[in-house]
Amino acid sequence: MKRMSIVEALREGIAQEMRRDERVFCIGEDIAIPGGWGGAFTVTLGLEKEFAGRMWNTPISEAGSFGVACGAALMGMRPIADVQYSDFLFCAMDQVASNIAKLRYMSGGKLTVPITMRAPVGVTGRGSQHAQNMETFFLPLPGVKIVCPATAYDALGLLRTAVRSDDPVMIFEHKLLYGSKGARAESGAVDASSDIPDEDYTVPLGKALVRREGRDVTIIATLLMMHRSLQAAELLEKEGISVEVIDPRSLVPFDWQTVQTSVAKTHRVVIVEESPKRSGVGAEIAATLAEDMFDLLQAPVRRVAAPNTPAPFSPPMESFYIPSVDGIISAVRETVGECREEIAYQGKDKKHARSGYTKRS
């Protein structure tokens, strides 16, 4: 066992995969500058010393680097493509959406595009163009798998799985969970380090993890919001509210079975995400809950998310913008209180009682 931050785990995982398979290489901007940072957040720091010729620095052209990665993957290589900030994926959107995501389907399975795409997300004092959580934009895109590791253990295991997959996989990594040091240390960072075993383990795609068991409410949250949800759950426990926290880890594919098992127990759901609420990941999860698990619910699904505005630059406004522990606590209280009120109402009026939630006029 060795204790690692997410940055250290990702760096170790990339090195291990490059040693294991000579087809693996890294491509991106400033990922292998001697004396540099090792990408925007030190993930590839020093790897050029061992893997000269397999760490490709590119011009500032995400469309170009992702096009090269796509062509290399089609020819049998296994590229790990890096963008400095996930927002810059917009510059590579045509390559990702039109080629990387679709070529296996369009070729009837004759072609594979095994690309791992790494992208930092989250609001961290850099303004609107360096702050988006891009999961929302790629969730509707068939042909691409999406993972969101919230711990170093999952970051390493999911990276290995992604690199070995014959499908393109996007790994979204939160800047405040990296654990970068020195010049890349982040204000407000959360400790997401883990004990990493020596063996060659992987984390399967589409398998969620119950981070905390509870009986009253289910919270579904990824990345930084998962950690804030755990903080909220701990505080709510003191009020007698037992919260179960699910970390999906993988958005595509999504582990609906784990969610259904939890909802069957708690009958209430709060979804927490850092993206704006409109058309977000939470909206997709809530819609599926309404379609497939309505009879298990005793209260409306609540979403905690950012406002439908660009991320602000002002630190006080930024703190207001990002969903907080207090905001999560408030949503859970409202959900539990509404459910208790409804149960009391049904008890008085047996004629309108039903299994599940009954909306009063």
Tokens of 134: 């891009």
Q: How far apart are CA 6 and CA 180, in angstroms?
A: 8
Distance separating alpha carbons of residues 292 and 278, to the nearest angstrom: 21
Non-local (6+) Cβ contacts of 281 within 8 A are 135, 136, 139, 222, 251, 271, 273, 275
The answer to whether 352 is a known catalytic residue is no
- Judge residue 349's burial from the number of C-beta atoms within 10 Å of its C-beta, 0-12 exposed, 13-18 middle, 19 or more buried: exposed
Q: Are 26 and 32 in contact (CB under 8 A)?
A: yes
If we measure between CA atoms, which residue out of 156, 139, 147 comes closest to residue 119?
A: 147
In the set 130, 174, 227, 267, the catalytic residue is 130
Contact 43, 14 (CB under 8 A): yes
- 335 to 96, 108, 202, 318, 329: CA distances (angstroms): 39, 47, 36, 26, 10
Pick from 279, 272, 271: nearest CA to 308: 279
For residues 278 and 322, what is the distance between their CA atoms, to the nearest angstrom? 15
Contact call for residues 80 and 26 (beta carbons, < 8 A): yes
Alpha helices in the chain (DSSP H): 6-20, 47-50, 62-74, 93-94, 103-106, 135-138, 152-164, 223-237, 256-266, 281-292, 315-321, 325-348
Name the residues annotated as catalytic: 130
